[in-house]
């Protein structure tokens, strides 16, 4: 029989299993750790089996006591369950995948419960409970993490304390109850024992009295035997008076000498141990169940003349003395072997052996008669095993035994168990509720977190939309405007309130009809639309150009909910595009002008030389001389035009030095005022802290004079010219045309209040030969030259002008870096020295130039060798190495570049002097490659003086390179 | 997580283990003054056990300690006493049952007070007044502290009646006693009991301390015609080499030297060869003490468990000694015997 704690531990274990089952079968997906359905099923089956097993043990004892008492039956169930457990484990192992610790531990618990069936030890139950706790904790840990584990641990600890308190409390109550019951039973047994002791004392006294009465100095046993009739009456009288059931006087051999009834031998008196003890000198009592009933025999020795003569035996009928007690109380008298000597008379219980070895508790199965016996309790209640209390009698040879039915105890236990189970169930339900509440809160928190996250994302998105650098408009499906972002508001000057009364289409009033109709089609068709739209009206009726994208936002059902329109302002982009186009155009024009200038220079050089020669051969003042003089002036003017063309066309930088624009303005102020004339007021506004720039002062002068001339011409009736300088940081906006500085620059601003320009004029002002002036008043090269110069300086020129509102030119010149060094212009002029007789190799592909230069040099006394290309020059050098002192070489030659020849000369004829000639450079300027090689340079067209000067200076230099 | 799990298992284990450990069997210590097979001690022990077995307590943790004072002496006995005291201090048994005076005199001073441990004595021969004077545990016969028990009664007046029955001359009775601890105690008890019955003048005292003296005194008793019998109380007598001789060993010597009625105080003495007489029933005395002990285990208030006197005696005669002395007893005497030992 399991004790109270066993029941409670079983119940607790069942509750844990139920809890586990609830968690596993919970609809809360999170707790259903095992996603594998088969594993889930096997866990559920295992749990249910374990629960059944748990319930089977206590219920088995209650409802199947006979079956349950059979060890083999329990063993069979245990083996069956163990096999189930083994199958479950194997199945889980085979399935793999979902290998979790608790999956393995659960079948172990099942197996443990199987063992408990066979070995119902409390320690195994405890072990099982600890195991279940572990399994649950591991399970909950894997399901809910550390937070849940901590909560569950605290609860389980609390529950463990509750179980322990319940077990101890109920155990205490049960023990108290049982003690009271036992004490009651024991008291009855003690009273009966006392009566047996009294019987023994009475027997002893009575035996002594009888012995004294029957024996005397002369009356031994022989005498009594002989006079039996004399003593028999006395004996029977004594029997009646004393209440003894029989008195027997036996000789030493056990033969009856005198007996109060006639059947002494039927009791087997001589075989009684007390008879043998009596004839050995000791008196004593013995109990015997005989065919007629149960008797108590008292024996004492009979001593005659100092010798043992026999024994006197007194028989007490136990039935007579004790039967009512035995019947009423259900008490048994058993001997050392457990054989019942006296007991309740019903159902022949006397033939039953109550004790089997050391087994103190007899089960109902052993009590096949007892079950039917009303003495042993009601049959309905006798399903539970009886308990036995016994006390030894006379040193332990006999025992008084009482079987009592512990049903009252079981009722108490059932009550306590029920209360325990109920409270535990409430606790478990509370626990489950809390778990679910935690789970719910966790989900809620997660949802709130997700919502906050989404909210943040939405806010971010809203910020992105609101602060986007493109204008965004959202209209509903009725095209009523719902939202516009900041950029849109800045772009159009409309606020959302302004747009409330407007529809989407009204924003596009005035755009091209083609665009408008296509927009209408896109909106009505619910398809995306993208166009570059010009002339979108602002609130103030000004217009802007933008790339407009429109797309519908559709619901899940495909229905249009909103229209989103994005406006990307392309004004700046268009300006840049225009600039780029202008740059390309200017570059092309520059290339064209450069080419033309080269040929012109060659021709002008021939004309110049020819005129000079002709003038030498004519009389000054003669009509011919005047004509030649006119030709020469015309050539010079033409040469000036060509130089300006070259200045415009050069994409490469002229040698630059660091200058301060304020200083330059200060220096040129007088000249500028002369150009402007008296009717025009000039105001200089030099900026403070103006950065230096890299530029050529002459070029700046040219730029300013050109711009001043244009401004003056734009104000025939007088006006005002304001010249300002200021610094511009990169990205800084300037002017009213929305210009931005693309780098740190110094801005030179020249503003007039003349009649201004329309956009058409503005688009061509930098084109060469474009002019709005009357014929003969302008060459059309002024602004082209300005443009070319500014480009050379790496700068930028912008113009802002509207008809009737004057013109502003913005010239941005980049601020040089700290490490930028100004290049130095090589002097183009030298000291003419005559070196008559020196040999000069003239390398020129242009025949006219070659002839005229050869003629001029020859006239000066030089020995001239002529070559048309590099190859020929090299041949001449080889042949006349000693005769040639200087090589005058054109850069552009048919076969190779003149610089290649210069390189050859440097390498093989280092003593030879070189002068490079080119018509592609302005006067006084040299291409960078020449500057790098420090070669003297003569720009076409040149005068004879220039030619002789350069040749003389070069020949006079020691190294062949004209050093500055 | 591991720590939590470990703590959890530990607490569960502890909590549930406490249930397993709860309600352990109450510890009982039985301290006997003599050896396991002592003629006086062993029946008492059996009686105690019988009574405990008859109680409703199924599980009792009983430990036995034998001081074996008749064999051990001096240091060895002192050592055994110390060990006993240490054991009591260490284990604090719920109940201590002492058998005979020495065990009580060792245990009682150590534990007297409020129980547990409770003390139940059996077979005290020294007067309770003497003990109470030292320990103050009784108010009359009612315990006021944690000690109760059964003191031995030698039934000396009944013994004198028996002596007069077989020797009607009413001669003097020699009291041959050893001067050791137990000898003096028994002598005192005999005197006390007889004094209460006004029979103390029948006694002549013969104290002995060693074997030589024993021989001389035995001879004096034998040769003194006024003496009809003697009561042997030579519990322990020293030999020439200071070895100890107990009553069991001395009985043959006395029987041989003294051919007079030797009144044995108990059945054990009778079985040793003395003639016998009224003997205190040691088994029953132990049983009485055992029942007191059971009541203490039932947690009865000790004030309700008054000190008891041994109740039962047996009338026992040694047949061999009877023949040796050539005595002829009346038939009635024979038939009054509870035991006639061969």
* pLDDT tens, residue by residue, A6-43: 777 778 888 888 887 777 776 544 444 444 566 666 66
CA B238 – CA B231 distance, rounded (Å): 19
pLDDT at A750 over 70: yes
Distance from CA of B261 to the nearest CA of A (A): 16
Most distant pair of Cα atoms in chain B: their distance: 97
Out of A141, A168, A301, name the one closest to residue B19 (CB): A168
Distance from CA of A471 to the nearest CA of B (A): 57
Interface test with B, best of A6, A130, A276 (most B CBs within 10 A): A130
**A423-457 residue pLDDT tens:** 888 888 888 888 778 778 878 888 999 999 999 99
Same domain, A43 and A161: yes
- Altogether, the residues listed in chain A come to a count of 964
Query: How many other CB atoms are found less than 10 A from the CB of residue A262?
Result: 9
Comparing alpha-carbon positions, the chain A residue that sits nearest to B58 is A389
pLDDT band at A88 (very low <50, low <70, confident <90, very high): low
Among A357, A384, A405, the domain boundary falls at A405
CB contact at 8 A, A369 and A344? no
Beta bridge partners of A914: A887
**Does residue B336 belong to the interface with chain A, where contact is any CB pair within 8 Å?**
yes
CA B142 – CA A854 distance, rounded (Å): 167
Instruction: Give the model's pLDDT for residue A960.
Output: 42
Contact criterion met (CB < 8 Å) for A157 and B11: yes
Interface test with B, best of A223, A303, A314, A390 (most B CBs within 10 A): A303
SS3 A150: helix
Query: How many other CB atoms are found less than 10 A from the CB of residue A862?
Result: 24
pLDDT band at A943 (very low <50, low <70, confident <90, very high): confident
A30 domain-assigned: yes
Comparing alpha-carbon positions, the chain B residue that sits nearest to A160 is B12
Q: Residue A160: which of A15, A292, A321, A303 has the closest Cα?
A: A15
Q: Residue A296: which of A208, A392, A195, A213 has the closest Cα?
A: A195
**A773-819 residue pLDDT tens:** 665 566 677 787 788 788 878 888 888 888 888 889 999 988 887 65
A618 domain-assigned: no
Contact criterion met (CB < 8 Å) for A160 and B13: no
Instruction: Supply the angle between the helices A4-24 and A37-63 in degrees, to the nearest 10.
Output: 160
Domains of chain B: 24-153+283-312 (3.40.50.2300), 156-264 (3.40.50.2300)
Contact criterion met (CB < 8 Å) for A303 and B56: no
Among A536, A569, A602, the domain boundary falls at A569
**A631-642 residue pLDDT tens:** 888 887 777 777
**A598-655 residue pLDDT tens:** 778 778 878 887 888 788 788 888 888 888 888 888 887 777 777 766 666 654 444 5
pLDDT at A371 over 60: no
Q: Which has more confidence, B66 or A103?
A: B66
Q: What angle do CA A425, A429, A433 make, to 5 degrees?
A: 170
CB contact at 8 A, A175 and B27? no
Task: Please give the tally of structural domains in chain A.
Answer: 6
Distance from CA of A130 to the nearest CA of B (A): 6
Among A513, A542, A569, the domain boundary falls at A569
Out of A126, A137, A208, name the one closest to residue B5 (CB): A137
Beta bridge partners of A863: A839
**A168-181 residue pLDDT tens:** 888 788 778 877 87
Q: What is the DSSP string of A210-227?
A: HHHHH--SS--HHHHHHT
Comparing alpha-carbon positions, the chain B residue that sits nearest to A220 is B331
Instruction: Give the model's pLDDT for residue A564.
Output: 92
CA atoms within 13 A on the CB side of A320: 11
CB contact at 8 A, A509 and A502? no
Same domain, A306 and A334: no
Contact criterion met (CB < 8 Å) for B334 and A306: yes
Comparing alpha-carbon positions, the chain B residue that sits nearest to A169 is B19
Contacts of A414 (CB under 8 A, 6+ apart): none
Q: Which has more confidence, A85 or A902?
A: A902
A460 domain-assigned: no
A298-303: average pLDDT: 88
Assign 3-state DSSP to chain A and report helix, strand, coil percentages, each to 5: 55, 20, 25
Burial class (CB in 10 A: 0-12, 13-18, 19+), B312: middle
Q: Number of Cβ pairs closer than 8 Å across A and B? A: 118
Instruction: Give the model's pLDDT for residue A353.
Output: 55
Distance from CA of A146 to the nearest CA of B (A): 8
Instruction: Give the model's pLDDT for residue B321.
Output: 92
Q: What angle do CA B295, B296, B301 make, to 5 degrees?
A: 95
A415 domain-assigned: no
Percent over 90 (pLDDT), chain A:
5
Same domain, A783 and A672: yes
pLDDT at A502 over 80: yes
CA A262 – CA A662 distance, rounded (Å): 168
Same domain, A756 and A859: no
CA atoms within 13 A on the CB side of A672: 25
**Does residue B6 belong to the interface with chain A, where contact is any CB pair within 8 Å?**
no
**Does residue B341 belong to the interface with chain A, where contact is any CB pair within 8 Å?**
yes
CA atoms within 13 A on the CB side of A11: 27
| Ramachandran class of A147: left when φ > 0, alpha when ψ lies in -120 to 50, beta otherwise | alpha
Structure tokens at A490: 């800045």
Instruction: Give the model's pLDDT for residue A961.
Output: 38
pLDDT band at A292 (very low <50, low <70, confident <90, very high): low
Instruction: Give the model's pLDDT for residue A36.
Output: 57
Comparing alpha-carbon positions, the chain B residue that sits nearest to A181 is B56
Contact criterion met (CB < 8 Å) for A304 and B22: no
Restricting to B residues 282-301, those with a Cβ less than 8 Å away from any Cβ of A are: 298
A629 domain-assigned: no
Comparing alpha-carbon positions, the chain A residue that sits nearest to B21 is A168
Same domain, A886 and A783: no
CATH code for position A672: 3.30.565.10
Out of A182, A208, A391, name the one closest to residue B336 (CB): A208
Interface test with B, best of A164, A180, A359 (most B CBs within 10 A): A164
Instruction: Supply the angle between the helices A101-118 and A71-95 in degrees, to the nearest 10.
Output: 170
Percent over 70 (pLDDT), chain A:
79
Same domain, A283 and A382: no
Same domain, A180 and A61: yes
Instruction: Give the model's pLDDT for residue A9.
Output: 79
Same domain, A695 and A800: yes
Which residue segment(s) compose the domain that A374 sits in?
A: 330-405
Q: Per-10-residue mean pLDDT for chain B, 342 residues long?
A: 63 57 75 88 90 78 88 84 91 92 92 89 91 91 93 91 86 92 88 90 92 92 92 88 85 92 88 90 92 90 91 89 88 85 82
Query: How many other CB atoms are found less than 10 A from the CB of residue B85?
Result: 15
Q: What is the CA radius of gyration of chain B?
A: 23
CATH code for position A238: 3.30.450.20
pLDDT band at A953 (very low <50, low <70, confident <90, very high): confident
A420 domain-assigned: no
**φ/ψ of residue B175, rounded to 5:** -110, 100
Beta bridge partners of A472: A566
Contact criterion met (CB < 8 Å) for B332 and A212: yes
3-class SS letters over chain B: CHHHHHHHHHHHHHHHHHHHHCCCCCEEEEEECCCCCCCCHHHHHHHHHHHHHHCCCCCCEEEEEECCCCCCCHHHHHHHHHHHHHHHHHHCCCEEEEEHHHHHHHHHHHHCCCCCCEEEEEEECCCHHHHHHHHCCEECCEECCCEEEEECCCCHHHHHHHHHHHCCCCCEEEEEEECCHHHHHHHHHHHHHHHHHCCHHHEEEEEECEHHHHHHHHHHHHHCCCEEEEEEECCEEECCCCCEEEHHHHHHHHHHHCCCEEECCEHHHHHHCCCEEEEECHHHHHHHHHHHHHHHHCCCCHHHCCCEECCCEEEEEEHHHHHHHCCCCCHHHHHHCCEEEC
pLDDT at A354 over 70: no
Q: Residue B199: which of B243, B239, B154, B236 has the closest Cα?
A: B154
Same domain, A97 and A238: no
Contact criterion met (CB < 8 Å) for A396 and B50: yes
pLDDT band at A836 (very low <50, low <70, confident <90, very high): low
Structure tokens at A641: 């035009």
pLDDT band at A211 (very low <50, low <70, confident <90, very high): confident
Comparing alpha-carbon positions, the chain A residue that sits nearest to B2 is A138
**Does residue B338 belong to the interface with chain A, where contact is any CB pair within 8 Å?**
yes
Identify the DSSP state of A359: B
Tell me whether the omega of the peptide bond preceding residue B117 falls within 30 degrees of 0, making it cis: yes
Instruction: Give the model's pLDDT for residue B1.
Output: 57
Interface test with B, best of A281, A283, A304, A310 (most B CBs within 10 A): A281
CB contact at 8 A, A519 and A513? no
Contact criterion met (CB < 8 Å) for B18 and A164: yes
Same domain, A310 and A353: no
A60 domain-assigned: yes
Structure tokens at B106: 């060792």
pLDDT band at A366 (very low <50, low <70, confident <90, very high): very low
Same domain, A235 and A311: yes
CA A720 – CA A806 distance, rounded (Å): 10
Q: Chain-centre distance of CA A25, in angstroms? A: 31
SS3 A340: strand
**Does residue B322 belong to the interface with chain A, where contact is any CB pair within 8 Å?**
yes
A107 domain-assigned: yes
Q: Which has more confidence, B82 or A767?
A: B82
Distance from CA of B10 to the nearest CA of A (A): 9
Same domain, A312 and A394: no
**φ/ψ of residue B8, rounded to 5:** -60, -50
- Chain A residues in contact with B56 by the CB 8 A cut-off are 179, 182-183, 185-186, 389
**A665-677 residue pLDDT tens:** 888 888 888 888 8
- Between the CA of residue A249 and those of A85, A173, A586, what are the distances in Å? 73, 56, 166
């Amino acid at each position: 029989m399991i004790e109270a704690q066993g029941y409670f531990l079983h119940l607790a274990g069942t509750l844990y299993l139920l809890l586990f089952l609830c968690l596993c079968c919970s609809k809360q997906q999170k707790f259903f750790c095992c996603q594998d359905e088969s594993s889930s099923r096997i866990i559920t089956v295992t749990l249910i089996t374990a629960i059944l097993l748990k319930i089977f043990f206590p219920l088995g004892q209650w409802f199947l006591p006979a079956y349950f008492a059979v060890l083999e039956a329990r063993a069979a169930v245990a083996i069956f369950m163990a096999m189930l457990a083994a199958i479950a484990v194997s199945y889980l192992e085979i399935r793999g995948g979902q290998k979790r610790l608790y999956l393995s531990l659960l079948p172990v618990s099942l197996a443990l419960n199987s063992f408990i069936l066979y070995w119902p030890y409390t320690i195994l139950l405890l072990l099982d409970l600890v195991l279940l706790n572990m399994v649950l904790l591991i399970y909950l840990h894997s399901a809910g993490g550390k937070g849940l584990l901590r909560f569950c641990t605290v609860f389980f600890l609390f529950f463990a304390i509750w179980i322990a308190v319940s077990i101890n409390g109920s155990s205490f109550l049960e023990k108290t109850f049982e003690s009271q019951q036992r004490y009651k039973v024991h008291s009855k047994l003690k009273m009966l024992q006392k009566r047996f002791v009294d019987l023994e004392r009475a027997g002893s006294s009575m035996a002594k009295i009888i012995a004294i009465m029957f024996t005397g100095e002369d009356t031994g046993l022989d005498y009594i035997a002989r006079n039996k009739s004399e003593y028999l009456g006395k004996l029977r009288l004594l029997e009646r008076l004393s209440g003894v059931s029989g008195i027997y006087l036996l000789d030493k051999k056990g033969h009856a000498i005198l007996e109060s009834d006639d059947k002494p031998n039927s009791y087997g008196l001589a075989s009684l141990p007390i008879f043998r003890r009596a004839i050995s000198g000791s008196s004593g009592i013995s109990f015997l169940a005989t065919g007629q009933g149960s008797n108590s025999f008292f024996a004492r020795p009979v001593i005659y003349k100092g010798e043992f003569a026999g024994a006197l035996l007194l028989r007490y009928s136990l039935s007579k003395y004790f039967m009512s007690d035995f019947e009423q109380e259900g008490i048994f008298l058993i001997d050392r072997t457990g054989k019942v000597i006296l007991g309740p008379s019903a159902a022949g219980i006397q033939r039953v052996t109550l004790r089997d070895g050391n087994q103190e508790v007899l089960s109902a199965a052993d009590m096949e008669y007892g079950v039917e016996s009303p003495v042993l309790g009601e049959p309905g209640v006798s399903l539970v095993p009886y308990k036995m209390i016994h006390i030894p009698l006379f040193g332990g040879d006999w025992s008084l035994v009482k079987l009592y039915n512990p049903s009252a105890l079981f009722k108490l236990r059932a009550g306590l168990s029920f209360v325990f189970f109920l409270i535990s169930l409430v606790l478990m339900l509370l626990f489950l509720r809390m778990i679910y509440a935690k789970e719910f809160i966790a989900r809620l928190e997660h949802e709130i977190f997700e919502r906050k996250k989404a909210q943040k994302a939405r806010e971010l998105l809203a910020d992105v939309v609101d602060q986007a650098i493109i204008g965004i408009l959202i209209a509903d499906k009725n095209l009523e405007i719902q939202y516009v972002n900041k950029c849109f508001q800045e772009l159009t000057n409309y606020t959302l309130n302004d747009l409330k009364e407007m529809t989407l289409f009204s924003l596009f009033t005035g755009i091209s009809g083609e665009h408008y109709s296509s927009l209408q089609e896109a909106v009505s068709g619910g398809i995306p639309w993208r166009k570059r739209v010009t002339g979108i009206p602002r609130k103030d009726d000004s217009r802007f150009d933008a790339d407009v994208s429109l797309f519908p936002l559709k619901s899940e059902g495909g229905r249009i909910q909103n229209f989103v329109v994005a406006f990307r302002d392309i004004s700046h982009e268009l300006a840049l595009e225009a600039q780029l186009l202008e740059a390309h155009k200017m570059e092309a024009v520059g290339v064209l002008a450069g080419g033309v200038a080269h040929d012109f220079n060659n021709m002008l050089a021939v004309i110049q030389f020819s005129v000079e020669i002709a003038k030498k051969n004519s009389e000054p003042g003669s009509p011919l001389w005047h004509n030649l003089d006119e030709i020469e002036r015309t050539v010079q003017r033409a040469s000036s035009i060509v130089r300006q063309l070259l200045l415009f066309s050069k994409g490469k930088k002229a040698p630059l030095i660091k200058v301060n624009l304020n200083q330059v303005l200060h220096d040129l102020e007088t000249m500028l005022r002369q150009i402007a004339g008296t009717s025009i007021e000039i105001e200089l506004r030099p900026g403070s802290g103006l950065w230096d720039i890299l530029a050529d002062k002459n070029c700046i002068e040219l730029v300013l004079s050109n711009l001043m001339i244009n401004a003056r011409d734009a104000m025939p009736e007088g006006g005002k010219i304001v010249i300002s300088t200021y610094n511009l940081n990169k990205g800084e906006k300037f002017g009213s045309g929305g210009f931005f500085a693309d780098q740190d620059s110094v801005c030179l601003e020249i503003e007039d209040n003349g009649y201004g320009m329309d956009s058409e004029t503005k688009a061509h002002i930098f084109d060469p030969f474009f002019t709005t002036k009357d014929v003969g008043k302008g060459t059309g090269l002024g602004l082209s030259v300005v443009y070319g110069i500014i480009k050379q300086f790496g700068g930028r020129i912008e113009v802002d002008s509207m008809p009737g509102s004057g013109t502003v030119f913005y010239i941005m010149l980049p601020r040089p870096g700290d490490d930028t060094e100004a290049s130095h212009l090589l002097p183009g002029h030298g000291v003419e020295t005559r070196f008559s007789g020196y040999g000069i190799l003239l390398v020129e592909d242009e025949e006219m130039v070659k002839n005229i230069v050869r003629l001029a040099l020859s006239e000066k006394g030089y020995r001239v060798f002529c070559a048309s290309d590099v190859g020929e020059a090299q041949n001449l050098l080889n042949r006349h190495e000693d005769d040639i002192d200087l090589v005058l070489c054109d850069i552009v030659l048919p076969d190779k570049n003149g610089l290649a020849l210069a390189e050859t000369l440097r390498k093989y004829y280092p003593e030879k002097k070189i002068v490079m000639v080119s018509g592609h450079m302005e006067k006084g300027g040299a291409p960078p490659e020449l500057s790098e090689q420090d070669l003297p340079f003569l720009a076409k067209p040149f005068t004879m003086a220039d030619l002789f000067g350069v040749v003389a200076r070069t020949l006079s230099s020691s190294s062949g390179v004209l050093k500055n | 997580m591991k720590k939590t799990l470990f703590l959890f298992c530990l607490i569960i284990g502890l909590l549930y283990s406490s249930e397993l450990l709860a309600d352990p069997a109450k510890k009982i210590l039985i301290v006997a003054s003599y050896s396991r097979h002592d003629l006086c001690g062993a029946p008492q022990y059996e009686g105690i056990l019988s009574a405990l077995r008859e109680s409703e307590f199924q599980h009792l943790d009983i430990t036995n300690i034998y001081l074996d004072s008749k064999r051990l002496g001096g240091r060895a006995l002192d050592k055994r006493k110390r060990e006993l005291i240490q054991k009591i201090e260490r284990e604090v048994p719920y109940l201590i049952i002492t058998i005979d005076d020495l065990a009580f005199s060792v245990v009682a001073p150590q534990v007297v007070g409020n129980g547990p441990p409770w003390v139940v004595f059996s077979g005290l021969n020294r007067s309770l007044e003497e003990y109470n004077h030292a320990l103050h545990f009784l108010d009359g016969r009612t315990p006021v502290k944690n000690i109760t028990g059964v003191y031995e009664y030698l039934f000396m007046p009944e013994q004198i009646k028996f002596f007069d029955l077989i020797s009607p001359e009413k001669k003097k009775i020699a009291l041959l006693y050893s001067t050791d601890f137990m000898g003096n105690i028994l002598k005192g008890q005999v005197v006390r009991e007889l004094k209460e019955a006004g029979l103390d003048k029948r006694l002549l005292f013969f104290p002995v301390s060693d074997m030589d003296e024993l021989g001389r005194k035995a001879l004096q008793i034998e040769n003194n015609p006024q003496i009809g019998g003697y009561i042997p109380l030579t519990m322990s007598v020293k030999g020439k080499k200071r070895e100890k001789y107990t009553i069991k060993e001395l009985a043959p010597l006395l029987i041989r030297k003294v051919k007079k009625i030797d009144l044995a105080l108990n059945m054990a003495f009778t079985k040793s060869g003395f003639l016998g007489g009224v003997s205190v029933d040691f088994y029953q005395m132990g049983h009485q003490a055992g029942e007191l002990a059971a009541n203490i285990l039932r947690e009865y208030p000790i004030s309700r468990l008054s000190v008891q006197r041994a109740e039962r005696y047996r009338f026992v005669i040694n047949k061999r000694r009877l023949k040796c002395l050539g005595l002829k007893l009346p038939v009635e005497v024979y038939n009054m015997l509870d035991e006639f030992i061969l």
